Structure 1
Amino acid sequence: MVFRHPVLIFISEKHGNYFAYVQKFNSRILSKYTLLLGEEKSVIQSFSTSVDRKFISLMSLSANGCVYETLIPIHPSDPEKKQRVVQSLLLKSVVSGNARSGAALTVLDQDHVAVLGPPLPASKECLSIWNTKFQTLQTSKELPQGTSGQLWYYGENLFMLHGKFLTVIPYKCEVSSLAGALGKLKHSQDPGAHAMPHFVNWETSQGCGHGSQNSEQSKRILRRRKIEVSVQPEVPASTQLLATIQKYSEKHIEVELRKFLAFKRTPEFHTIIGDVIIGLLGRCKAEPSFYPRNCLTQLIQTHVLSYSLCPGLMEAALEKADVQILQLCLQQFPDIPESVTCACLKIFLSIGDDSLQETDINMESVSDYTDTVQDGEMEEQSGILQNGFNPEEEDNCENCSQELIEKPQTSTKESTSCPVTPKRAALLNSVLHSAYSETFLLPHLKDIPAQHITLFLQYLYFLYLKCSENATMTLPGIHPPTLNQIMDWICLLLDANFTVVVMIPEAKRLLLSLYKFVKSQINICSELNKIEASFRELQKLNQEKSNRGLYSIEVLELF
C-alpha cells in the first residue's frame, strides 16, 4: 500500500536481464524499470518491498546468498518511459548459495529483514533476523523439519511452512541502534531513581503544583520553537549530498546518491554532478583507501558528464588501473584528449587476463565473431574469395621470404582466431570508437611498446578478416567497430611505429598479411571503378535515347 492505495509490484526475467514493474491502480499507470545488477550478476530467488515517503525499497535475495536493495521513486519524472535503477549490495552471504528447497526474504521494518534458508552449505535451514542498518545478525532459529522456502510477515507475526505445519512465530522488531545491534543495550537503572516517561502529556501536567503556569509557559516555548524551525531555509539536496561525501562510508554515500539521482533533473543538473565527482575525487586523494567505484559508475551513467567537466576522473581511474571506469568514460565522454586515450590503450593492452576475468566490462561491442573458426569450415572456404580478398592466397613477391610462403596453414590459423580475449576486445573496441585528431594522436602512439603495437595490429587484422566474410563488410553485435575505424587505426599504428615493428621477427608474418590485404583492396577498388565508369556510360546512353515505346533487348558485355 502506497498512501492507502494498492500498488502491484512484480519482476520478470528475459535472457538474464531483470525488469521491475510498478502498477498503480489509483492512476492506472504501469512503470517499467530495468534492474542493473552491478558487478555480481545472479538469479533472483525472492524479493520483498517496503515503502517510505519518496521511494519503494525493493529488496531481493539472489542465488549467491546476498541481499540487494533497489530504490524505485514513487513519483517518477516520466512514468511512461523505460527507466533503469541500480541494485546495491545490502547484506553479503546471509544464506548458502546451494539451498536445496530455495530461500525466502521478507522485510520486517525499515532496518530489519527476515531470511529463510541454510546459512552454510552443510547446515540445516534457519530463520534469521538481520539488521540491515548495521549488517548484524539479531537472532536465528533452527528448523530441523525443513521448509518449503515460503515466508510471510503480517501483524508482527512470521508465517512459514515448517514440515507439514503452518508455523507462526511472533516477532516485534526493537528500535535499531548501535548498542542494540551489538548486543550491548543495558536497561539498568539506579535503585532510587524513578522511571521517567518517554512522552509528556502537557494537558495532564496542569494538575501538578504549578501545572497551569508551567503548561502555558511550555506551550509558548513549543510554539516559539516551531516558528524558529519553520523559518529555517531548506538545505538543497546537492549540498546535503556533498556534505555526506566528506563524512560517511562508501555504502551510505551510495544510498544517498541513488536517492538524489531519483529526483527530477534541473537545468543545472550537469554542473551539480560535476561538483559531486570533484567531491568524491577530493576525498580519494585525501584517503587513498577510499575509492567509490559504484558511485562513480552511477554518475557516469547519467550521460551528462564530459572530460572537461571532471578531468581528474580518468586520471584517478588510470592510477587505479580501473578499466571498467575507463571504458565507460571512453564510451560517453566526447572530449577526451589524445594523450589520455593512448594511456587507456596502454593499460588495455598490458593488463593481465586474470585481472580482466574479475572485472565487469560492457560486452555490447563484442559478439560471437571472437570465436575461432572450425578447421572444417576453413577447408571448405579455402578457395573462396571473401570480398575480393583471400587470406590464404600467396602472391609472388620478391621481398617475401620463402619460409613464410611455405607455411600457409600456420598463417590461416593465426588469421582466423582472435588474438585477444573477449573482454580485452571490448576494451580495445572502446578505443576504436573514441574521437581523435591524427596530428595529436601520432606522437603518443610512439610511446606504446612494440609488442603491444603488434598485438593491437593482429587484433585489427582479425577484425578486417571478419568484416570480409560478408557482403556488407560489417561486424555483428551492438555498436561494433566499423570498417573505416579499423582501417584508420591500422594506418595510424603503422605510420607511428613502422620502423620499430619491421624489426620484430614476430611481426613479419603480420606485415606480409597486411601487404597482401592492401594489394587485394587496391585490385578490388580498381575493378569497382571500372564497373562504375561502365554504368555511367550506360546511363548517358539511356538519357540520349528517345522514348519511342518500343520493346528491345540489349546484350552488354563488360570486360
Structure 2
Amino acid sequence: MARLCEEFTLCGLPSGGGGLRAVGSAGPDRVIVTHEDRTVTVYKVSDQKPLGSWTVKQTQKISCPAVYNNLTGEYIVVHDHKVLRIWKDEDVNLEKSFKATLAADIYQIHTLPDTEPLVLFEGGSVRQLDVLLSAPQQEIESVLSKGEVIRWSDVLLEAGSPVILFVTEKDGSFHLCAQKLNPNVCYKFKLDSGDKNVRPLSFVLCSKQEGVILMCLYSSGCIYQMPLSLNRNSTEKEQVLPQSLLLKLPNCETSLDHATILILDETHVAILGVPYSHQCTVKDCLSIWNISFQTLQVWKEFPEGSCGQLWCFCGKLFVPHGKVLTVIPFTCETSSLAAVLGKLKQPDAAVKSVSTVVNWNSMLCGAQSAEPVPTPESKRRLRSRKSQDLNPQPQPLPLDQFLTEIQTSTKETIDQQLKYLLRNLQQSNAQLIIAQIATTLVSRCKAQVKFYPQKALESILKTQMLSYSLCPDLMAVALDEADYFILQLCLQHFPDIPEAVTCACLKLFLSVNDSDLEKIALDLGSVASYVELGQRSSKAEEKMEIVENGFSPVLLEEDSYDGKKTNDPLQADGKFTCPVSLKRAVLLNEILLSTYSEAFLLPRLKDLSVPQVVLFLRYVEYLYAKQCEFISFEIPGDRIPTVNQILDWISLLLDAHFTVLVMATEARGLITHLHKFIRSQAKLCSQLSKIESSLQNLRQLKSQESDVLYSIEVIKII
C-alpha cells in the first residue's frame, strides 16, 4: 500500500509554476532548483531554506537545468545553449566562476553517482564533461537527421558503463536512441503506438533483473512497458520496439494534454495530470497506482493547477503547482493480494502462555503429563468477570448515534461516551472517526456559545490522530475561548498549522496577564529547570567571570556601541533573568518549535505591537543566553527550542519590525545590547577563523626528517 504524508512548501514560484525548469538532487537532503528566468538555488529540504543562490546576467538565459557533480562537489549549468558555468558552494558571483564556450548547442547534462557527467548535444552526440573541457571548441558531429529534435533523455548504468537514452521526434514519428560510450555504439528503435492520433507524453526508465525497461504514458491514458535490448548487433536495421500494455487508466475518455509518470518502486508508479475517477473534474491530480494489481492506492488534487512536472528524490515527491513548489513525502509498502483487497489480517497480540504445574504424583506413577492449573491471575480474571456480570459496564454507542448525541447531550455524558468509544477504537479507520467527532463538537461550539467541552477536546487531541486540516475550526474556537491548554496541545500535535493561526496564538500569549495564566494547568515539561536556574544566583557565582562559548557579560559592557554603559533589564548583577513567567515561557516555546514558511510568516508578524515584539525579543535573547551556558549549545529537556530556531526567530522579528524598533524608546536598550552581543560574537568568529587558517597552514607543511633520536619543535602562531 502507498501513502502520501503531510506536505510542506519548499519555495515560492510565479503563478502557475511555469517559472520552474527542473529540480535535481544535490546530495543528501539537498536539491538544486533551476528557474526559467536566470536563477539557480540550492535548498536544504528538511529546513525548507535556501543554502545558496546564483544568477546569470540579465542578457543571458539558462537553457538547460543545473546539475550537481558529486565527484567534485561542483554545480554545472548551461546558458545561451553553448556556455558552460561551473562553480562551488563558496563561489558567490557566478560571473567569476569557470566558463567554457562549446562549439554546439547542448540539450541536457546528465550525472550518475561516482561517474563523470555526460553532455548530450541537440544533434544527438554525447561527450564526457572532462573531454569537452580539455578542448571546448572541438567539433561535435550530428547523428540526427534534419528536422529531428530530442523530446526526452535519461541516463543509466549498463554493465558498469553509462548509457544515454533519448527520444526524438520528426514529423510525428518517435524514435528511441541508446548511445553507449564504451564502446561507442548507438542503437535506434522506433516507437509505434498503433494509432496516429495517440502521442507519448512521458517516459521513465527502470532497471530490473530481466534488463532495462522503458515505460511510456500515452495521451490515451495507456502505460506501456518496452524491454530494451542493448546487446544486439549494431549493423541490424532499425526495428520497432516491442511494447506491452502495463496499465490502462480508466478515466481518460478524452486525450490528455500533459501528464507525467514516475516509478516509485517495483510495484508503484506516480502519475501527475490525470483525474483519479470519472467524477473528478480536477485533472491536475497526483495519484499512486499499483501496477501489479492495477489498483489506485492514493491521490491528491491540485485545483489551482500544475504544469505537469514531477520529480522524486529520497522518498519525497516535488510538485510545482499554483505559486509554490510542494514537497510530499510518501511511503510504499510491499504489495500483496490480501493488502490490495483490504483483507490483510493484522498479527494478533501475543498471548501469554498458561502456567503449568507438574503433577508429581502422576510422574511417580509413570505418567509424565503436566496439567494446566488456574494461576492467581486467572482467578482474579474470574472474580473480575463475576463482578462485571453483577455490575455491567455501559457499552459504547455506535458512531452515528454518538454523533447525534453530541448535538443535545451534556458535556459529562459526552465525556463518558467518548471515553468508551476511544477505548474500543479500531486502528483501521481511527483517524476518520476522530475527525468526525472533533468536527461535530466544534460545530456545536460555534452554534452554542455556552457549550465548550474542554475535556472531550483534550481527549481527542491526546490521541495524536488529528491535524489542523482535518478540523480547521478547532483552533479558532480555542482562540475565542482563550483556552491555552488546548492551544498548547494543538501546537504540539498539529504539523500543518497555517502561519496566520500561529501568529494569532503568539499575539494571545504575549497579551495575556500572568495572573490569568497562574490559574491555568499547562504541561510545563522541563522549562522550569532552566527558568529557575536563570533566576537564582549565588554570591559565589556573581564574583566569577563566565566566559563560555564566546559569551561574556563583562565583554558586552566593555565593548559598547556608543562608549556608554547601558542598564539592560535582562541582566541583574551580570546574570540573565527570564523576562516572562514560567507558564508564558512554556507557551512561547511552542511557538518557537512550530513549523512555518518564512514567506508567509513574515507579513503576519507585522501585526504585533511594539511592546509585544520587545517582550518576545527579550525572551528569545534570554533563551540564547541560556543556550550559551551549555557547551553543547542545547538546553537539556524536551520541547526546548534549538539555537538555530532561536536565531531564526530573532531574525524574523527584526526583519518585520526593524524600523519601528529603532524609533521606539523602550526597545533602544534591547537593540543596543543585541548589537554589542553580535559584535562580540563576530570577534570570536574572526579569531576562530584565524586559528583555523593557521592550523590549515600547519597541516600543509611537510614533516622534516631528523637524524637525531629526540627533538623538540616549537611552533608559534602569530
Whether the 8 Å contact between 1:50 and 1:110 is mirrored in structure 2 is: no
Distance 1:413 1:455, change over 3 A: farther
Gap runs ≥5 in structure 2: 1-374
Whether the 8 Å contact between 1:338 and 1:444 is mirrored in structure 2 is: yes
State percent identity of aligned pairs: 42
Aligned AA for 1:517?
F
Aligned AA for 1:294?
K
Aligned position for 1:379: 542
Distance 1:319 1:415, change over 3 A: farther
Aligned position for 2:434: 273
Aligned position for 2:649: 489
Separation (CA, whole Å) in 1 of partners of 2:450 and 2:584: 27
Match of 2:552 among 390, 404, 407: 390
Shift of 1:264: 4.6
Aligned AA for 2:378?
N
Separation (CA, whole Å) in 1 of partners of 2:669 and 2:574: 10
Shift of 1:500: 1.2
3-state DSSP class of the match of 1:558?
A: coil
Shift of 1:299: 0.6
Aligned position for 2:691: 531
Aligned position for 2:377: 25
Shift of 1:239: 2.1
Aligned AA for 1:419?
P
Distance 1:367 1:410, change over 3 A: closer
Shift of 1:411: 4.2
Distance 1:26 1:421, change over 3 A: same
Aligned position for 1:243: 404
Aligned AA for 1:473?
F
Aligned position for 1:357: 518
- How far does the alpha carbon of each residue in 1:224-268 deviate from its partner, in whole angstroms, 9 at most, with x for none? xxxxxxxxxx99832232122123111111111111111253222
- How far does the alpha carbon of each residue in 1:300-353 deviate from its partner, in whole angstroms, 9 at most, with x for none? 111111111110000101111111111111111111111100000001111111
Aligned position for 2:633: 473
Aligned position for 1:426: 586
Structure 1 length as normaliser, TM-score?
Answer: 0.55
Separation (CA, whole Å) in 2 of partners of 1:50 and 1:350: 56
- How far does the alpha carbon of each residue in 1:58-81 deviate from its partner, in whole angstroms, 9 at most, with x for none? xxxxxxxxxxxxxxxxxxxxxxxx
Separation (CA, whole Å) in 2 of partners of 1:409 and 1:344: 26
Separation (CA, whole Å) in 2 of partners of 1:300 and 1:421: 26
- The answer as to 2:579 corresponding to 1:416 is no
Distance 1:442 1:413, change over 3 A: farther
Q: What do you get for the CA RMSD once the two structures are aligned? A: 3.6
Give the number of the structure whose residues are more often helix, by fraction: 1
Distance 1:410 1:478, change over 3 A: closer
Separation (CA, whole Å) in 2 of partners of 1:556 and 1:483: 36
Distance 1:552 1:312, change over 3 A: farther
Whether the 8 Å contact between 2:492 and 2:590 is mirrored in structure 1 is: yes
Distance 1:264 1:395, change over 3 A: same
Shift of 1:422: 0.5
Separation (CA, whole Å) in 2 of partners of 1:287 and 1:555: 82
3-state DSSP class of the match of 1:443?
A: helix
Separation (CA, whole Å) in 2 of partners of 1:235 and 1:327: 29
Separation (CA, whole Å) in 2 of partners of 1:277 and 1:443: 31
Aligned position for 1:3: none
Match of 1:313 among 449, 474, 484: 474
Instruction: Count how many residue pairs are aligned between Structure 1 and Structure 2.
Output: 340
1:48-447 equivalences under 5 Å are 52=388, 237-371=398-532, 372-374=535-537, 376-381=539-544, 383-393=545-555, 394-395=557-558, 397=560, 399=562, 402=564, 405=565, 407=567, 411-413=571-573, 416-447=576-607
Whether the 8 Å contact between 1:297 and 1:325 is mirrored in structure 2 is: yes
Separation (CA, whole Å) in 2 of partners of 1:281 and 1:453: 32
Shift of 1:441: 0.6
Aligned AA for 1:311?
P
Shift of 1:532: 3.1
Aligned position for 1:558: 717
Aligned AA for 2:549?
N
Runs of 4+ more than 6 Å apart: none
Aligned position for 2:675: 515
Aligned position for 2:608: 448
Separation (CA, whole Å) in 2 of partners of 1:555 and 1:313: 69
Shift of 1:455: 0.6
Give the number of the structure whose residues are more often strand, by fraction: 2
Whether the 8 Å contact between 1:365 and 1:429 is mirrored in structure 2 is: no
